[in-house]
Amino acid sequence: MPDAERAVCELQARCVGIEDAERRQECLVAAETLRRTLGAPKASEPNAARAVEVPEAVSEAEAEAEPRRGIWGRVTGLLKRDRPQPAAVPEPLPAQITDQAAEPVSEPTIEPEPTLSEVAISRTTVDRTVLEIPSHFVGEVTAHRKLVRDRQLIAVDDRVLFEGDVWRESKIREGNRVEVQKVSSLFGERYRIIGPSKRAVTANRIRCERVELNTDDRRKCSLLPDG
């Protein structure tokens, strides 16, 4: 048996004895490649070997180096060439520290919601004087004032104040006794006042007991003691 064929057979026998399945398969592939390169007849593979794809033939540089390194050196080269090289794992990049991460993060200041102060609801009692004026009575003129256009103010018993007409004809003066008669209250309290001359005065009552008075009425109500 030629030396080349014997070397291939020995290589295949050694390959079958390898326990690691991956290494065993690589060895059988290298033996098959060597057999094709040397032109040796194909040997029967053992039942345990699986049919694999035959790699490409060796390069010219390897063929020239074959006489120098021998058959076993070539087999070792084939094993190294056919063995897959582990992929290079890139080194992890250093963690990038941003300026924002380096600086302490200040939490937003949450201002407390303003609390509404308790508002005390107070009740103000307003004294309101209600005068019960008879529809017909006799009283004394306690104050009197002449107004323009023959009008006049007549205060009776320091309680009620009237504004009426015909000052000249009525001849009502302070200290006189007058008769007061209520005429109508539809458009305000209207009265008829009769003095010494018996000339009736048509008058309106000014409600000085009210809390809110305009400037003119306040000035007129000053004739009353409580005005």
Residue among 160, 157, 163, 161 at smallest CA distance from 176: 157
Q: Three-state DSSP class for 207?
A: coil
Q: 166 lies in which domain range?
A: 136-223
Res 220 pLDDT > 70: yes
Q: Which of 40, 62, 82 is the last residue of a domain?
A: 82
Same domain, 74 and 153: no
pLDDT of residue 194: 96
Token reading at 170: 């009525």
Other beta carbons within 10 Å of 191: 24
Q: Is residue 190 part of a domain?
A: yes
Res 172 pLDDT > 80: yes
For residues 6 and 31, what is the distance between their CA atoms, to the nearest angstrom? 11
Same domain, 77 and 8: yes
CB 35 within 8 A of CB 71: no
Angle at 143 between CA 140 and CA 146, to 5 degrees: 120
Same domain, 150 and 78: no
The more confident residue out of 182 and 118 is 182
Q: Is residue 14 part of a domain?
A: yes
Which helix (H) or strand (E) is 63 found in, with range?
helix 60-82
Predicted TM-score of the model (pTM): 0.44
Q: Is residue 95 part of a domain?
A: no
Q: Is residue 56 part of a domain?
A: yes
**Alpha carbon separation from 211 to 146, 161, 191 (Å, rounded):** 26, 16, 23
Same domain, 78 and 153: no
For residues 57 and 39, what is the distance between their CA atoms, to the nearest angstrom? 12
Same domain, 154 and 76: no
Q: Is residue 148 part of a domain?
A: yes
Q: Is residue 120 part of a domain?
A: no
Res 17 pLDDT > 70: yes
pLDDT of residue 40: 45
Predicted confidence (pLDDT) per residue in 43-81, tens digit: 444 443 443 444 444 444 444 444 444 555 555 555 555
Count: domains in the chain:
2
Predicted confidence (pLDDT) per residue in 117-136, tens digit: 554 555 555 555 677 889 99
Q: Is residue 199 part of a domain?
A: yes
Q: Which residues contact 197 (CB under 8 A, 6 or more apart)?
A: 169, 170, 171, 172
Lowest-pLDDT range, 77-81, 96-100, 137-141, 200-204?
96-100
pLDDT of residue 184: 78
Q: Which of 66, 82, 98 is the last residue of a domain?
A: 82
Res 115 pLDDT > 50: yes
Residue type (1 letter), 60: E
Res 97 pLDDT > 80: no
Mean pLDDT along residues 186-208 = 90
Res 109 pLDDT > 90: no
Q: What is the chain's percent helix, strand, coil content, to nearest 5?
A: 30, 20, 50
